[in-house]
Structure 1
Amino acid sequence: MKQRYTYGKESKLKSRKLLDAVFKQGRSFTLFPLKVLFLQAETPGESLQTGVAAGTRHFKRAVHRNRVKRLMRESYRLHALPLQQYVEEKQQPMVVFMLYIDKVLPTQELLHQKMPLVIKRIIKELDENTTPAT
C-alpha cells in the first residue's frame, strides 16, 4: 500500500472548543523553536487534528506569519505518519497545536530537522501517560 502524505481539511484544527481545551487542559513542551500543546480529545471525530500559529509579537507582517505557518504545515505533513499510526492504533482522538516561538524566519531545513523530534516526543509523552502504574 502506498503511503499518502496529506494534510486535508478534516485534519485541520478549526473547532474553537477544542482549541480552548488544548490551551486549558492540554500538556505542552518546548522544542525550540516550537512550542507544542497536545490533548487527547474525548469527542469522537477525526482521530488527529493539528493547528499551527506564529505570533504577531515576533512577526508584524502577515506575509511572514503566513510563511512560517506554511512551512510548519508542510514539515508536519511530511513527518506526521508515525503519529497518525500511533493515534489509529490506540483509537484515541488527539489534538495537537504548534506555536512558532523564535524571532527569526525559519528555514525549511530547520523545521524538517525539528518536526520528527516533535512527533517522537509527543508519542513518548503519550506512552508515559497511558502506561499503567503497577
Structure 2
Amino acid sequence: MTEHLTENPKNFVFPKEEKLKSKKLFEQLFTEGKSITTFPVKLLYTNADFDDDVHIKVGVVAPKKKFRNAIKRNRVKRLLREGYRLNKHLVFNNIEGNFAFLFLYLGGKMPNYQEVDRAIKQLLETFLKKQSHEKIDQ
C-alpha cells in the first residue's frame, strides 16, 4: 500500500456522481472532444455543464472489437477506473471549470495495472499542461 493512500482514504473514492452516464455527453465527447493519447490509453475531454456540484465526470471504454470476451472487457474497464481513482487528485484541485472525461483503451492485449496507471498519470499531467496553456491564451 502506498503512503499517500494512508493519509486520507476519502480522497481516493470514485462516487456515483462522478460517473459519466449521459448519452448526449458521450456523443459530444466523440464528435467535439479534444484528445490526448499515451499508448495504450486515450483521453477524450470536453467542457461540460453539470447540474450537480461535480467538476469532473468520467467514463471508461474498452472496445468490443478488440476484446470479444465480456470478462476481459470488464477487466480492462476496471483497471481504467482504478487508475483514474488513484490519480484523480492530480487534476481535481488544479482545474477551473467542469469537464467530461472518457478514457479509451487502445491496446490489443490485456494490460497490467502498472502500464494503465503510468498512462493515466501521464494523460492527466498532459491535460493539466494543456489547460494551463489554454487559460493563458484566453
- Give the TM-score taking structure 1 as reference length: 0.90
- The SS at the match of 1:13 is coil
**Aligned position for 1:20:** 27
Per-residue deviation, 1:126: 1.3
Aligned length: 130
**Aligned position for 1:106:** 111
CA RMSD of aligned residues (A): 1.5
Is residue 4 of structure 1 aligned with residue 11 of structure 2?
A: yes
- The SS at the match of 1:56 is coil
Q: Structure 2 matches for 1:59-78, cutoff 5 A?
A: 59-78=67-86
Q: Structure 2 matches for 1:33-52, cutoff 5 A?
A: 33-45=40-52, 46-52=54-60
Give CA deviations for 1:114-134 in whole Å, capped at 9, x if unaligned.
22111101111111222135x
Give distance in 1, aligned partners of 2:51 and 2:44.
Answer: 19
Aligned-residue sequence identity (percent) comes to 29
- Give the TM-score taking structure 2 as reference length: 0.87
**Aligned position for 1:85:** 93
Contact persistence 1:18–1:95 (CA under 8 A): yes
Structure 1 gaps of 5+ residues are none
Structure 2 gaps of 5+ residues are 1-6
- The SS at the match of 2:117 is helix
Contact persistence 1:44–1:93 (CA under 8 A): no
Per-residue deviation, 1:42: 3.6
Give distance in 1, aligned partners of 2:137 and 2:123.
Answer: 24
> Which residue identity is paired with 1:130?
K
